[in-house]
Amino acid sequence: MKNENYRKQIDSIQYDNDFEEKTLNILSAERQHGGYHMSGLAKRIIIIAAAAVILCLTAAASIMFLSASNAAEFIGDEKLAKAFEEDGAVKVSETIKTGGYDITLLVLVSGKGLSDTYDTASDKTYAVISVAASDGTPYTNEDYPSLAFTPLISGLNPWQFNAWTLHGGYTQFCEGGILYYLFDCDGISCFADRTVYFAVYDGFTPSREFFNIAKDGSISFSKDFDKAAALFTLPLDKSLADKDAAQRLIEENDIPVV
């Protein structure tokens, strides 16, 4: 391949000279009118008021938790808030205490067209995770821990098939001293006939140092991994498994099956 020719052809493409400036204007407008940073104050007041009512009704409660649906409303995604309440949502509500954190996987839901915000044309999985300090110290918007979030599939090496291969990302916010993460990635329900995990841990991209995969394909944290590490097993409906879709995802990423 004559890479100089390729370079010349790419360099000859004429883009808008004001692209950067116009883009910054669009992004500034988005921050002011759309992004969760600027999500409506009224909406926040309603949610906080609703949570306050719950708080009043729960005499023993000392920390205010948002539901998964409230968390989606908080970032302005009404459609997703509704999806978290519907029958297809998998309500996990399991808490793992690890490394000074109480990590709770609240709910996950999969499908197309479930969100106002994210790519709705393709099958996506959304999950809400809350993180509280085990000693009750409230978090603020300034002190997010360096946690990573990833689904993992039994039989597939965690360092090869994870949130990064599944185009994962998350939106985070702090409310009432609790951190909330709205995670999204390519749909994982096609793997429902396998054991599907959701890992939350202190670190970055999954590596061999972080995870073990046994001969039977089951996944666990390495014994030497001594930071915060929570591994949830997802109670997915096996009837949602789609072997062809799963195989396509595996092949697209050239992943060897253990």
- Footprint on this chain of another protein (rule: CB under 8 A): 1-3, 5-7, 9-10, 12-16, 19-20, 23-24, 26-28, 30-31, 34-37, 117, 119, 121, 144, 146, 160, 162, 164-165, 167, 169-173, 204-205, 252-254
Nearest to 153 by CA among 63, 54, 253: 253
Q: CB under 8 Å to 257, separation ≥6 — which residues?
A: 155, 156, 250
* Nearest-approach distance from CB 200 to another protein, in angstroms: 14
| C-beta of 14 vs 62, nearer to another protein | 14
169 phi and psi, to 5 degrees? -170, 175
58/247 with CB nearer another protein: 247
Contact (Cβ atoms closer than 8 angstroms) between residue 186 and residue 167: yes
In this structure, the number of other CB atoms found within 10 A of the CB of residue 112 comes to 12
Q: How far is the CB of 153 from another protein (least distance, A)?
A: 15
C-beta of 93 vs 146, nearer to another protein: 146
What's the closest the beta carbon of residue 256 comes to another protein, in angstroms? 9
In the DSSP assignment, the letter for residue 198 is: E
* Radius of gyration of the chain, Cα coordinates, nearest whole angstrom: 21
DSSP 223: T
Nearer to another protein, 92 or 182 (CB): 182
Closest CA to 198 of 151, 248, 236: 151
- C-beta of 144 vs 240, nearer to another protein: 144
Query: What is the C-alpha to C-alpha distance for residues 192 and 176, in angstroms, rounded to an integer?
Result: 34
Which CB sits closer to another protein, 16 or 224?
Answer: 16
Residue from 124, 183, 122, 194 nearest 155 by CA: 194
Q: What minimum distance in Å lies between the beta carbon of 197 and another protein?
A: 18
The Cα 113–Cα 254 span in angstroms is: 28
In the bound complex, what is the minimum distance in angstroms from residue 242's beta carbon to another protein?
Answer: 20
CB of 240 to another protein, least distance (A): 24
